[in-house]
Amino acid sequence: MAGYVSEAVIRRLPGYYRHLKELEAEGVKQISSQELGERMKLTASQIRQDINCFGGFGRQGYGYGVTELREHIGKILGVDTVHRVAIIGAGNIGRAVALSDSFPANGFQTVALFDTDPQKVGTSIGNVPVLDITSFEHFKAEHPMDIIALAVPTNVAQAVADQLCGLGMRAFWNFAPIDLKLPGDATLVNVHLEEGLEVLSFKMKHREDA
């Protein structure tokens, strides 16, 4: 893999992976950079540049083998192995994550939800148990996990993240609208739902103005 890969390329990789899975399901065996670019609204040159960031792949005049390229990008993304996810917060967002069909299909296995609400603790969402947050350390010792999906209120998000970092967690998928401060060796991806709506609002407004 190349030493430096831009954030823009990294953010496009899941799109490649999704489209290639769809092409596989459609029975497509080969695809050119031009055809893939048209499908993804990218130029053929951009497709080739992105894929070449991770080493040469495909052959001139032949294009890409769909299954081979999907497997190649899957390895780059790390989704060729199972990642175990614990969801903190069994509210609406936590429930939505737990009930999603797409995460298991892409190698993300939800092992448990944790909450502080006694009315939620002891129940299940789908087939995932809701456990008391105080049992997290004991549960983690017997059920290794890789990723924390943080779906808690903003006012407690940093404290919860600090607590889990202290217990050795280093990968966070944060749904709370707050910029968390984590140790340098921790990895964080934020999902700010309201920002997505604000971007959509901006695009709608400027389309109308145009």
pLDDT in tens, 69-97: 999 999 999 888 899 999 999 999 999 99
Residue range(s) in the chain whose domain bears CATH number 3.40.50.720: 83-195
Q: Which two tokens stand for residue 177?
A: 């609208």
Q: How confident is the model at residue 60 (pLDDT cuts 50, 70, 90)?
A: low
CA–CA separation, 71 vs 108, rounded Å?
A: 16
Q: Where in the chain is the domain with CATH 1.10.10.10?
A: 7-77
Closest CA to 49 of 38, 61, 33, 65: 33
Superfamily of domain 83-195: NAD(P)-binding Rossmann-like Domain (3.40.50.720)
Q: How many CA atoms lie within 13 A of 126 on its CB side?
A: 16
pLDDT tier at 62, thresholds 50, 70, 90: confident
Q: Which residues contact 64 (CB under 8 A, 6 or more apart)?
A: 30, 31, 32, 33, 36, 51, 57, 58
The CATH number for 7-77, chosen from 2.60.120.260, 1.10.10.10, 3.30.450.20, 3.40.50.10470, is 1.10.10.10
Using a cut of 0.95, tell me whether the model's pTM lies above it.
no
Say which residues have a Cβ less than 8 Å from residue 149's Cβ, sequence separation at least 6: 85, 86, 87, 88, 94, 97, 110, 173, 175
What gap in Å lies between CA 92 and CA 111, rounded to an integer? 18
